A and B are shown apart, each in its own frame.
Chain A
Amino acid sequence: MTGWRLSPRVKAADGPRLKLVEDYKMNPHEKTLQRQSGLDLYGTVVPSRMLLGTAGYPSPAILGAAVRSSGAAVVTVSLRRETAGGGSGQRFFDLVQDLGVNVLPNTAGCRSAREAITTAEMAREVFNTDWIKLEVIGNDDTLQPDVFGLVEAAGVLCREGFKVFPYTTEDLSVAERLQRAGCKVIMPWGAPIGTGQGISNRRALESLRAYFPGVSLIVDAGIGAPSHAAEAMELGFDAVLLNTAVAKAGDPVRMAQAFSEAISAGRLGFEAGLMPPRDMAVPSTPVAGTPFFDLE
């Protein structure tokens, strides 16, 4: 990908630092996004770069208010066993429909490619969308993706016409295989689901961003604070997906707004081109003409 540079900061490690902002060239994908100021998800451009989960809120009303205050245009949903007589699923479905946002069903809890594929097929019918957040979980404690099952399921689902949003690790070769399988969106974790630890492996995420300039990269999971989300956006990620940090906040509605503003600020900062960090202090005020400069 000639001409692509991740960001001034990444370039900084490899060469002279002072001309970095001048040298910085955005790739066509990024220019498009900047012009549209939206997020490209398989050709659907949505205005917000925040994707919000719908689980764990104190009440359906607070969930609805949080989604609205976040400005999110995409919310994640799930499928669970329905009991005889049912009704709870239908009520939730009606609530989400009233919000007027795009739904991104997940395959949360699936432990094999087969389970995830079947769940995706069921979700497509229920939610009437070919979007699927593909999760294949490999470890109960870390909720680490089973990347082998993930790649296998992604291949099958892409061939079946799904638009796959795979929840993966920061591993570069796995991302390559997901892209080869047909994924145009890739969602590496920031940290394990629900931990709120933030960006645990910043360098790896920087590499991922640099290697996949044409893929919409979304940091998914592990985000605990608005500053974590801003950091992900400053690294050049296209969006952030989070749930627990909003749902379990003291005031989920205000926290949703806080994240929304942090994500916008981080994106704007990335587009503006961050200054490279320096090892030594450099005076910001001009040295020439400093009074008393010639004295001792």
Chain B
Amino acid sequence: MSGRPQRETIEIVVNGRPLQAPPGTLQALVDSQSLSAVKVATAVNGHFVAASRRATTLLQPGDRVEIVSPRQGG
């Protein structure tokens, strides 16, 4: 890949908002959001991705990622 810019990014949608992110795994995205130590669950394109699978889930351009955490509810 020499000669190509190293700062290549892909556009994904995280919690409904567009985000330019470096290509990588779902776990890397969670880490980049400073959520590694927080209790969160994730889904990509409407499908649940277990915490144990985040590190092997590669994000693709256009992926829609949900990162959720506990809240009050009725």
Residues of A participating in the B interface, judged by any CB pair closer than 8 Å: 53-57, 63, 76-90, 92-93, 96, 105-106, 108, 114-115, 118-119, 121-123, 125-127, 193, 243-244
**Interface membership of chain B positions 15-58, coded 1 if the CB is closer than 8 angstroms to chain A and 0 otherwise:** 11000000000000000011100111111001110110000000
Residues of A within 8 A of B33 (CB): 82, 84-86
Interface size on B, residues (CB 8 A): 25
Distance, CA A36 to CA B16, complexed state (A)? 48
| A-B CB contacts (within 8 Å), total count | 118
Majority SS at the chain A contact face: mixed
Indicate whether B72 reaches chain A with its CB closer than 8 angstroms.
yes
Residue in B15, B16, B35, B43 whose beta carbon sits within 8 Å of that of A122 in the complex: B43
Distance, CA A86 to CA B32, complexed state (A)? 12
Which of B33, B35, B43 counts the most chain A CB atoms within 10 A? B35
A96 pairs with B70, CB closer than 8 A: yes
The chain B residue with its CB closest to the CB of A247 is B74
Residues of B within 8 A of A56 (CB): 72, 74
Indicate whether B63 reaches chain A with its CB closer than 8 angstroms.
no
A81 pairs with B73, CB closer than 8 A: no
Q: List 15 A-B contacts (CB under 8 A).
A: A54-B73, A76-B74, A78-B70, A79-B41, A81-B15, A81-B68, A82-B15, A85-B34, A85-B35, A90-B38, A92-B70, A118-B66, A121-B43, A122-B42, A126-B40
Q: A90-B38, A122-B42 are in contact. Are A82 and B72 (CB under 8 A)?
A: no
A53 pairs with B38, CB closer than 8 A: no
Q: How far is the CB of A208 from chain B (nearest CB, A)?
A: 21
Residues of A within 8 A of B68 (CB): 79-82, 89, 119, 122, 126
A90 pairs with B69, CB closer than 8 A: yes
Distance, CA A56 to CA B50, complexed state (A)? 30
Distance, CA A61 to CA B55, complexed state (A)? 37
Residues of A within 8 A of B39 (CB): 89-90, 93, 126
Which of B39, B68, B74 counts the most chain A CB atoms within 10 A? B74
Q: A85-B33, A122-B41, A125-B51 are in contact. Are A79 and B69 (CB under 8 A)?
A: yes
Residues of B participating in the A interface, judged by any CB pair closer than 8 Å: 15-16, 33-35, 38-43, 46-48, 50-51, 66-74
A93 pairs with B70, CB closer than 8 A: yes
Distance, CA A57 to CA B50, complexed state (A)? 31
B72 pairs with A118, CB closer than 8 A: no
B73 pairs with A82, CB closer than 8 A: no
The chain A residue with its CB closest to the CB of B33 is A84
B74 pairs with A126, CB closer than 8 A: no
Distance, CA A96 to CA B72, complexed state (A)? 9
Which of A56, A81, A83, A108 counts the most chain B CB atoms within 10 A? A81
Residues of A within 8 A of B73 (CB): 53-55, 76-79, 105-106, 108
Q: A105-B73, A108-B73, A118-B46 are in contact. Are A81 and B38 (CB under 8 A)?
A: no
Q: How far is the CB of A139 from chain B (nearest CB, A)?
A: 17
Distance, CA A84 to CA B33, complexed state (A)? 5
Residues of B within 8 A of A63 (CB): 72
